[in-house]
Structure 1
Amino acid sequence: MAASAKVHVTPQVIGRLRLASQGLQDGFGSVAECVSKMGAMQAQDLASAFWAVGQRVPGSGLSDVLEALENGTVVRSWPMRGTLHLVPPGELRWILAITTERAMRSATARHRDLGIDAADIAICRELALGHVAGTPGATREELFKVFEGAGQGTKAQRGIHLLWILCQHGWLVQGPPAGTAGRALGQQLFVAFDEWIPESRTLDRDEGIAEFLLRYLRSHGPATERDFSWWSQIPLAEVRKALAAVSGQLVELVFRDTSYWLSPEAAAMLDDGVPGSRTLLALPGFDEFLLGYQDRSLVLPPEHAQKVVPGGNGVFKRMIVSGGRVVGTWSREGTGKGTAVVPEPFEGTLGPAAQRSFELQAAKYLGFLGR
């Protein structure tokens, strides 16, 4: 399909195209490739992020994702929306250069309430870098003790905001898991950015926004310019300028008079029929399939939204996705080898074929965890 083509699609087709773009049909070759192609993957809840990667890298296990964090081929930081993401290490610095100023502005009132000013940040920067230099890194609690010893309070979230600021400016970054106990808790060591990521690509702002937008639309498409602006927190005017620069490398689809953009490779599926009509997946909570878009109604019927995000409290339940649509949630019961994976469809029960597919997904999930 030519990059200039315009075709009309349905919500079901959009959902299945997104499955393909996000590697949920054919998958990526490695953990590092997955995160690089996705651009950034929601990772506030680390266990969910691990399974999000596992669903996109065939044959991978939890140990593979942990290894990627341990060897630095994937890093976890706050590149946008004040939320932790998995990101490719060599791209993080230029992404932060684009997003940090706005993120810091949005936190101004909160930092004023916490009594954090430029002098405090400078003091904590020197303390933190001095403490982690030449070491494997330090836990959050260890750095809090260092700050407290210098009169920098860490209570009432002041400490985590200080660490967020140091990471936001590219002085610190989260590194390897903090030992065996830390793995279970999702704890990571904080390390010096330049020591952990010695090589970073350099892009100016316009180049960076265009690169970030192109990577997003190739991995999340079909998606709109507004989806990307919300996802990245980059102003819409700059997104539109970037889209003009990269649109020749994409295909435009029109749905309800709105333009959706995706890669030519994904759009080519429209010629022979988009796969995935019978694909059933057990996705984690916070997965990019849902969280990667401002408008989620195309894949999650609005009447069922509260079942995925009860009370709109920002906590997303694990999702059952069938044919590119969210059709239910699922839960874990028990621990260890006694862990059970239980489907909770929105309506009725899963049919025999869907139930069998779900059981295969449950087995894949438990196998990923090593159970």
Structure 2
Amino acid sequence: MHRVDDEQRRVRLGRRHLLAPSARAASAVTVADALVALHATDAATVFLSVCARLTEPGAGAVERALYEDVSLVRLLSMRNTLFTVSTEVAPAVDASSARAVAAKERRKLLKHLKEDGQGLDEHWLADTETQTLAALTARGRATGSELSAAVPALRTKITVFPGTRQETVQGIASRVIRVLAADGRIRRDRPRGSWTSSQFRWTAAEPWPPSDPARARAELAGRWLRSYGPGTEGDLKWWTGWGARETRTALAAAGAEEVLLDSGAVGWVAPGDLADEPAPEPWAALLPGLDPSAMGWADRGFHLPVDHRAALFDRAGNIGPTVWWNGTVVGGWAQRADGEPVWRLLSDVGREASQLIEAEAARLSAWVGDARITPRFRTPLERELTA
């Protein structure tokens, strides 16, 4: 069996994830496609992930793609997580993952409505959705609060988890809006405030045309292999949230080829993707929390030293902002209240690496400008650096 060692995996990461300076891209869409999907749970992550890989970084390029060209869209999809993908990749993500997530979200909401005991059912929900879409179409775009003001049904409150320790009274608006977004009937538009804000306005949208889920899974698996391969079956299963059988079938349909990894595990690459690649020039990067380069595999041992995990992950397993050197996570970074980026190295990387890390910090500071970034998922090291 052909072997792909950890060093070659790090070389591929630097090139294929557009992190080496010579590999950087000219557009936000190119970056998104190179990574297949950008984590979007934290609004700032999309901008930071893209701009770390652009030849000319700037929030404006990402905003144009999201809100003017609409060449990037957000989908609640893999692992029931919000991702940003290009409109070229979106149909495969929708059919392979997002449709199942949307159905689950609807079932969950209907279950809450039934348990609440007010007689709210699928007919009430359908009518409320119709009213919400009509109000949104009339306004063009609106926040959740503005929609609630326009649609009385959205101001309904229900009791969730009645009779349990988790019992609580909640408004229905955010849940209805979440289901509409999961179904692709509305999408997130410009937020209130800056690009770091998650207080999105909403606008009407058209669902993606239906397609065969198995074919979509094969397409998505092929894209993941070209961007993240080699990876194990377990890596792809974790990244997508698919079941074991679906993952195995998708790999076979994508024509994946077996390779041996340094860990002793069997990995998979795209068809014909066996040749070693030459190392790019030395590179450093400051990547945000939940960046795809840190989240593309369940087993990150080839680029993340085990003894760094306690400082860089929160209690739920979310990785925070990271400092990279030639394909390895060597530390973490944060932004202080005055805007200054600060970092701490957890590995001894030498003078050349330190100089390039400083240059990346200056590059980051230059395009971020007056914006202030606080990760949604805060890690021990990020908290220490901003204390």
Superposition RMSD on alpha carbons, in Å?
2.8
Q: What is the deviation of 1:134?
A: 4.9
Does structure 1 residue 274 correspond to structure 2 residue 271? no
Q: 2:187 aligns with which of 168, 173, 176?
A: 173
Hey, which of these two has a bigger chunk of helix by percent? Answer: 1
- C-alpha distance in 1 between matches for 2:108 and 2:24: 42
Asked whether the equivalents of residues 75 and 94 of structure 2 are also in contact (C-alpha less than 8 Å), the reply is no
Q: Partner residue of 1:214?
A: 222
Superposition pairs for residues 122-161 of structure 1, below 5 Å?
122-149=126-153, 151-153=155-157, 156=170, 158-161=172-175
Asked whether the equivalents of residues 43 and 195 of structure 2 are also in contact (C-alpha less than 8 Å), the reply is no
Q: Partner residue of 1:163?
A: 177
Q: What secondary structure does 1:138 align onto?
A: coil
> Cα–Cα, structure 1 residues 239 and 294, in superposed 2: closer, same or farther, change >3 Å?
same
- C-alpha distance in 2 between matches for 1:235 and 1:117: 31
Q: Normalising to structure 2: TM-score of the pair?
A: 0.80
Q: What secondary structure does 1:81 align onto?
A: helix
Q: Partner residue of 2:327?
A: 324
Q: What is the deviation of 1:105?
A: 6.4
Q: 1:53 aligns with which of 25, 34, 50?
A: 50
Q: Partner residue of 2:384?
A: none
Does structure 1 residue 11 correspond to structure 2 residue 10? no
Q: What secondary structure does 1:133 align onto?
A: helix
Does structure 1 residue 354 correspond to structure 2 residue 366? no
Does structure 1 residue 34 correspond to structure 2 residue 46? no
> Cα–Cα, structure 1 residues 357 and 153, in superposed 2: closer, same or farther, change >3 Å?
same
Q: 2:266 aligns with which of 259, 279, 294?
A: 259
Query: What amino acid sits opposite 2:333 in the alignment?
Result: W
Gaps of 5+ in 2: 159-168, 371-387
Asked whether the equivalents of residues 155 and 171 of structure 2 are also in contact (C-alpha less than 8 Å), the reply is no
Asked whether the equivalents of residues 18 and 221 of structure 1 are also in contact (C-alpha less than 8 Å), the reply is no
Gaps of 5+ in 1: 1-5
- Count matched residues: 350
Q: What secondary structure does 2:2 align onto?
A: strand
Q: What is the deviation of 1:156?
A: 3.4
Asked whether the equivalents of residues 44 and 196 of structure 2 are also in contact (C-alpha less than 8 Å), the reply is no
Asked whether the equivalents of residues 91 and 201 of structure 1 are also in contact (C-alpha less than 8 Å), the reply is no
> Cα–Cα, structure 1 residues 366 and 173, in superposed 2: closer, same or farther, change >3 Å?
same
Q: What is the deviation of 1:65?
A: 0.6
Q: Normalising to structure 1: TM-score of the pair?
A: 0.83
User: Percentage identity across aligned positions?
Assistant: 23
Asked whether the equivalents of residues 12 and 323 of structure 1 are also in contact (C-alpha less than 8 Å), the reply is no
Superposition pairs for residues 45-124 of structure 1, below 5 Å?
45-71=42-68, 72-100=70-98, 102-104=100-102, 108=107, 112-113=111-112, 115=116, 117-124=121-128
The one-character-per-residue Cα deviations of 1:76-113 (angstroms, maximum 9, x if unpaired) are 23122222111123543553333245425655557634
Q: Partner residue of 2:204?
A: 192
Q: What is the deviation of 1:234?
A: 2.0
Q: What is the deviation of 1:130?
A: 0.4
Moved more, 252-261 or 113-122: 113-122
- C-alpha distance in 2 between matches for 1:171 and 1:165: 9
Q: Partner residue of 1:306?
A: 310
RCO higher in 1 or 2 (8 Å CA, sep ≥ 6)? 1
Asked whether the equivalents of residues 79 and 92 of structure 1 are also in contact (C-alpha less than 8 Å), the reply is no
Asked whether the equivalents of residues 95 and 210 of structure 2 are also in contact (C-alpha less than 8 Å), the reply is no
